[in-house]
Amino acid sequence: MKATYHIAGAARLPTLAAIACIFLCSFVFAPHTHAQEPSGPEEHFASIALPRGTELPILVSKQAGSRPNIAVLLFAGYPGILHIRSDDGSVTYDLHGNFLIRARRHLLNDQIFTVMVDCPKDQWVLCDDRYRTSDQHAQDIAAVIDKVKSDFGATKVYVMGTSYGTVSSAFLALKLTDKMDGAIHTATFTDPDTAHRGRSHGLPMGNFDWTAIKVDQLFVHHKDDPCSVTRYRSVVSRKGIAPLITVQGSKNAHGNVCEAFSAHGFVGRERITMLAIADWIASRKVQEIVGDDESED
């Protein structure tokens, strides 16, 4: 494992693996163009003007023909910069291989819709720990919450992060207690690389107190998460009384252990994991173990 971890991002592979990286990295990072299909979800692009003169793009996804009222704001893994943009009616974005981005369709139902949350355009270079832990980040997401309530019919709002995105879901849940109904943390960032502080990210998560959060929380973690900065045992020991869904099994796992297509990214268990999260959102039902006997497409 290298000293610098890039969670759910592109790995710096050895020279012998360069050919494989050309294919893998282009799939994970290449901009994704979405052309809506009649059988697919309804998707709506919006760009929120922030008081300091920049914009924050979002992409709202709803089950076709539905009128859901529960918004789940999605914060992707490292680097979390989606570059959502609309050009001549086509919406493009990066990181489409990230767990939350590729699996969000499984969360959509008559009650729930998702909101892919980009970093503000003035944060498109880093969108780092300093921003994610700041009051400015909380203010920006408060504006997103206001938008999905006023324009998209949300009466309840949840935040959900994966991997490095849990820096956002954690600090937003701590700071925006009165603006949300709950927080979901998947593949939670718990053990940053403190030996290389100048080149690491997620450092505030090393001593983050999850028990200080007052809104309802759900943790979702793969029992065999191979990434050293998102250890399953650390979540178990630090989550307090918050419920935990343990995911088991995988299918066609490949790539860097801290990236989207290993057990870290719930590969092969996307659908069953999202359905379990939807159950918790709707009824607070907790399926303590999922995926152990599941065969997914």
pLDDT tens per residue across span 194-248:
765 555 689 999 999 999 999 999 999 999 999 999 999 999 999 999 999 999 9
92 in Cβ contact with 85 (< 8 Å): yes
Q: Which residue has the tokens 């992060």?
A: 161
108 in Cβ contact with 144 (< 8 Å): no
Tokens matching residue 258: 């801290």
Collapsing DSSP to helix, strand or coil, 241 comes out as coil
- What pLDDT does 2 receive? 34
Over residues 61-74, mean pLDDT = 97
Of 83 and 201, the one with more pLDDT: 83
Question: What pTM did the predictor assign?
Answer: 0.85
Position 100 confidence tier, pLDDT thresholds 50, 70, 90: very high
Tell whether the model's pLDDT for residue 270 goes beyond 70. yes
pLDDT tens per residue across span 258-268:
988 999 999 99
Over residues 108-117, mean pLDDT = 98
CA atoms of 228 and 96, how far apart (whole Å)? 23
Over residues 95-111, mean pLDDT = 96
